[in-house]
Structure 1
Amino acid sequence: MTEAFTELINAVSERDEGDKDGDGQLSATEASSLWAVLQSRLKEEFKRTEGRFARLMYGHTAPETRRLLQLAFNRPNSNPRVLVAQSVVGREGLNLHKACKTVVLLHPEWNPGVVEQQIGRIDRVGSLWETQLEEALGKGVAADDLPHMLVRPVVFKGTYDEKNWEVLRGRWDDLRAQLHGVVISPHLSESFGVAPELAEEINRSAPSFSPIAPTLCIPAQSVATQP
């Protein structure tokens, strides 16, 4: 209970708020004045008429409301269960990973790097997905049945969304090729008629800088040495 109350107060207040003399501590007078402000914010938040199941977070959402929404969303049995976030708001610096592993992309950005940042809101250390994965691995669950994050784009066929998704997928393939060595993605392989076996062989031949990748053994006769 104490921890929950502390989290609530931290969410509804700004850092060092109320410390008027800057000494790093709140005097009785400062604390009393700040408490009145915090009470006002809490009353304003909890008297809202918006639905509880889903909430909207956008540019004009007050900072304290954003923090309260984030706090509530990260609790497994708390509302809101769905958080609709504007792209620029739900892109960076927002942790939504403790009770969620599903991202629905509605009219996503054209830049795959930005979309990766949005997906990254639920892909963080200590995430729900990571916790479930560790539990599954501990139980020896088969690879095909391991839990994973869900990314669901909403695309209406024959509309602007379809073109948007087509371009984004192509750019995403380029990003994966540059960052992860996936030279030919399944999407490219299918689009250009590249045999899956050939695509796999090419991808395996790409340089890998993973710290857990197998060591490349070079035959002794091919090693160049300085005189």
Structure 2
Amino acid sequence: MNLRNKVIIITGGTSGVGRQLVALLCHNNTVIVITRHTTRLTELTDAHQNIHVFSADLSDSKQYKGLAQKVQRRFPIVDVLINNAAVQNTQMFTDTNFKYETIAQEINVNFNAICSLSYLFLPNLKNANEQAIILNINSGLALVPKKSSAVYCASKAAMNIFSQSLNYQLEQTNISVLQAFLPLVDTPMTQGRGASKLSSEQAAVEIIKGLEKQIPINNIGKVKLLRVLTTLAPPLARKLLKRS
């Protein structure tokens, strides 16, 4: 796909990988950013051109329809939907500070929003003049979980299967569903966790390369090695990731 003069929706575009995607894509495209951080939205529009911002809390599923309607009134055609927004709670169910309400919130942002926005924006994507793409930003933890962040790991695994199934459903349309699987990336979400992180800038570059080439499963960085381990030595992969 030639990423010029496209209308691109990016969720979670004010920090981390999402912000880098916005910065790289906005020069030659119209970028629609969906996020709940209104102060960061102002900073984003001041820093970049060709950006249109819509504020929504994706942890609240009641906001999805209204959000889609607002976007559709201004942008009847969408070429690319990048489902990037995600949250990860590291508390375990056995921790005394675990908050029950975070379960639904995390599932909504990491999975429900992906399913819902993919459906709600289908008419816009079908209106694209050429090929349209839904790109779901996934994680190596969709392949092998770690001990903490059980809901995050499960939601990413669900995204993986959903993406493949939806791609089957859309085979006779102009829409393809792609995934980018990320290793541990240096973002605000991962502060204080892990080492040897991939920079958010490099992650965004690799995501865009996969988008341009329309790679269905784009394994980025150490996820390539994880794929090999899950095939050749599953117990070792589980051991390495368990306490990651």
Same fold (TM over 0.5): no
Q: Which has the higher strand share?
A: 2
Higher RCO (C-alpha under 8 Å, 6+ residues apart)? 2
Which structure: larger Rg? 1
Give the TM-score normalised by the residue count of structure 1.
0.31
